[in-house]
């Protein structure tokens, strides 16, 4: 939420969510985003293919 309008890469999200040396499942970020999308308004989180995710300004 602090980075509204800016694209967050998958790697940057992983580094913020998990501590050093903690193993991350290959689809952990996608699962978290899926659950957030169910709770937030439609279109609030946009996927930027090949880059990451973006929170909409609306």
- pTM of the predicted structure, to 2 decimals: 0.72
Q: Which residues of 21-49 are buried (b: 16+ CB within 10 A; e: fewer)?
A: eeeeeeeebeeebeeeeeeeeeeebeeee
If one compares 9 and 25, the residue with the highest pLDDT of the two is 9
Asked if residues 32 and 42 have their Cβ atoms less than 8 Å apart, the reply is: no
What is the CATH number assigned to the segment(s) 7-55? 1.10.10.10
pLDDT at 46 over 80: yes
C-alpha distances (whole Å) from 31 to each of 25, 34, 38, 57 are 10, 5, 11, 23
Higher pLDDT, 48 or 26: 48
- Sketch the domain layout of the chain as residue ranges: 7-55
Say whether pLDDT at 56 is over 70. Answer: yes
């Amino acid at each position: 939420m602090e980075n509204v309008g800016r694209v967050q890469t998958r790697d940057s999200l992983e580094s913020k969510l998990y501590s050093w040396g903690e193993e991350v499942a290959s689809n952990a970020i996608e699962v978290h985003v899926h659950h957030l999308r169910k709770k937030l308004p439609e279109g609030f989180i946009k996927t930027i293919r090949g880059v990451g995710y973006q929170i909409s300004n609306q």
